[in-house]
């Protein structure tokens, strides 16, 4: 996450850019198997106001839906070798 200089409507001290890489996946809609093409979604967030549930909602607003038997998993990548699962709001810091 990079600090943002001048985001709109967000306190610049708390603003960060988050890039979410949504992988391609299949799900079922109306009994049909549907392919969902992945892409990178860039968001500017306020770290003091944003939560993991907000991340799920923002991905949903971008047109990505999953079945009741599927779960969204978010992973944080720091550097070339450190990757860990995002499990709490505090990990955004």
Q: What does the pLDDT look like over 14-45, one tens digit per residue? A: 888 888 999 999 988 888 998 999 999 999 99
Could you give phi then psi for residue 19, rounded to 5 degrees? -105, 125
Determine the straight-line distance between the first and last CA of the chain, rounded to whole angstroms: 9
CA 75, chain centre distance (Å): 9
pLDDT in tens, 1-16: 444 444 567 888 888 8
∠3-44-92 over CA atoms, to 5°?
65
Q: What is the pTM of this model?
A: 0.72
How many domains, in total, are found in the chain?
1
Distance CA(1)–CA(18), nearest Å, equals 5
pLDDT surpassing 80 at residue 92: no
Amino acid 35: pLDDT: 93
pLDDT in tens, 48-84: 888 989 999 999 999 888 778 778 888 888 888 888 8
Distance CA(43)–CA(20), nearest Å, equals 8
Residue range of the domain that includes 58: 2-92
């Amino acid at each position: 996450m990079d600090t943002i200089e001048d985001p709109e409507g967000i306190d610049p001290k708390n603003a960060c850019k988050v890039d979410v890489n949504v992988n391609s996946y299949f799900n079922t809609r109306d009994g049909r198997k549907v392919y969902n093409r992945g892409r990178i979604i860039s968001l500017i967030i306020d770290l003091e106001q944003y939560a993991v549930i907000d991340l799920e909602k923002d991905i949903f607003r971008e047109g990505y839906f999953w079945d009741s038997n599927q779960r969204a998993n978010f992973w944080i990548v720091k550097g070339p070798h450190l990757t860990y699962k995002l499990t709490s709001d505090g990990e955004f810091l």
